[in-house]
Amino acid sequence: MSRQTTHPLDAEETRIAAALARLGDASPPPALDARIRGQAHAAVTRKRPLRRSGGALAAVLALGVGIKVSMSPIPIQPGIVPDPSALQDQSSPAMVAPVPSTRASESNQSALEQPTIERAAADQPRLDKAQADQTRRAPASTPRAASAPPADASRPSEAKQPSSLRHEQRVEPASIPIAPARLASPPASQAAENTAEKAVRSTSALPQPFPDEPPQRAVQSAPPAESDITEARPLILEERAAPGRSEVAAPPPTAARSPRAATMRASPSPAPTADTEAPAAAGADPQPTSSKRQAFGTGGRGALGQTGSAAKSKEPPSDAIAADAKGELDARVELSALIELARKLARNGDADRLTQVLRRITLDYPQAELPDDIRALLEAERSPR
């Protein structure tokens, strides 16, 4: 391993070396020896913090995410309450759910939600009828659509999709039926609904899941009163008391502003669609799609979506799948951060912000599996004060 570094001295060198040796055999003092040895021993017995700091690093990252979420404003739209006409549509098929992931290609959609598609295909005649009705009614009731901003260019054209897939995208059960509860809310907050719509539009980069819908959902309105929130909350409990009526109901309006949330709801697809079929079979669907969309603030995106559908339809499917997966991952991260924030706020006793965070969780991730403590917080939040 080592090379020969020494070489014997010749006679002359030996003589001078002996003279040099007589100059003195100096050696370091014992204290210095002890200090150096101690330093050497400490160096090899010292712990290496970087190798064992995985947990600490993860904790720091989690803390950073939590701080970032807590620093960012939470765009909760208070008092999202439908108009009275939505009350008539509770038995209609749920055609108001947003597209799970607006960037998903058809193949990706079918891979994710094949059972849902099959069930939706069974409902196709009814849904087509409802859609036709909604299309006929839409222009007369939507003078606001003229001001709708341009929609997301990444939205694929729904018109090019198979009808069964179109319906599948709209039929999505909600395991936490919050939005239907708003159907029973008083009609006092058309303005609140418009505000929600406005918030959705303000995130103009978000995809619009209903490109074929008439532009009746364009929103201009003043922010609702805070009392709208408190009025809507008991209705959620009311809806929970009668879940069979609207398990299929549309997701809340804030779901539309978050494609990640839509993706998250789409991918597990565990919820049954039996509830979807039940109200559809009842046949009471005089104004199904438009009114429900209006009620939950998801309408109006149809017109926006049509604007950007052509561009989106050119996107390769692989990109769409990757974007879909990224959206789902982002949604999970965001949900985790929201849960952590809710826990923190609960610990700190910040009731106002906790209410906002819980509402955001409920609205953005209605189908997410929530931890028990968060569920308990939600229940406590819903209970009448």
Q: What whole-number distance in Å separates Cα of residue 85 and Cα of residue 98?
A: 20
Q: How far is the CB of 10 from other proteins (least distance, A)?
A: 10
Orientation angle between helical segments 124-137 and 288-296, nearest 10 degrees: 70
Q: What whole-number distance in Å separates Cα of residue 246 and Cα of residue 53?
A: 49
Q: How far is the CB of 2 from other proteins (least distance, A)?
A: 4
Contacts of 324 (CB under 8 A, 6+ apart): 101, 103, 104, 108, 263
Q: Which is nearer to other proteins, 8 or 384 (CB)?
A: 8
Q: How far is the CB of 45 from other proteins (least distance, A)?
A: 7
Residue 3 contacts other proteins per CB under 8 A: yes
Q: Determine the distance from the C-alpha atom of residue 345 to the mean position of all C-alpha atoms in its chain, rounded to a whole number.
A: 20
Which one of the spans 38-46, 58-66, 306-314, 353-361 is the region binding other proteins (CB under 8 A)?
38-46
Q: What whole-number distance in Å separates Cα of residue 158 and Cα of residue 210?
A: 7
Q: What whole-number distance in Å separates Cα of residue 208 and Cα of residue 257?
A: 9
Residue 352 contacts other proteins per CB under 8 A: no
Q: How far is the CB of 14 from other proteins (least distance, A)?
A: 9
- From the list 36, 60, 74, 329, which residue makes contact with other proteins (rule: CB under 8 A)? 36
Quick one: CA dihedral 335, 337, 341, 344, positive or negative?
Answer: positive
Q: How many CA atoms lie within 13 A of 12 on its CB side?
A: 0
- In this structure, are residues 88 and 287 in contact, taking their beta carbons and an 8 Å threshold? yes
Residue 40 contacts other proteins per CB under 8 A: yes
Residue 26 contacts other proteins per CB under 8 A: yes
Residue 48 contacts other proteins per CB under 8 A: no
Q: Which is nearer to other proteins, 33 or 319 (CB)?
A: 33
Q: Which is nearer to other proteins, 45 or 72 (CB)?
A: 45
List residues binding other proteins (CB under 8 A).
1-9, 12-13, 16-17, 19-29, 32-33, 35-37, 39-41, 43-45
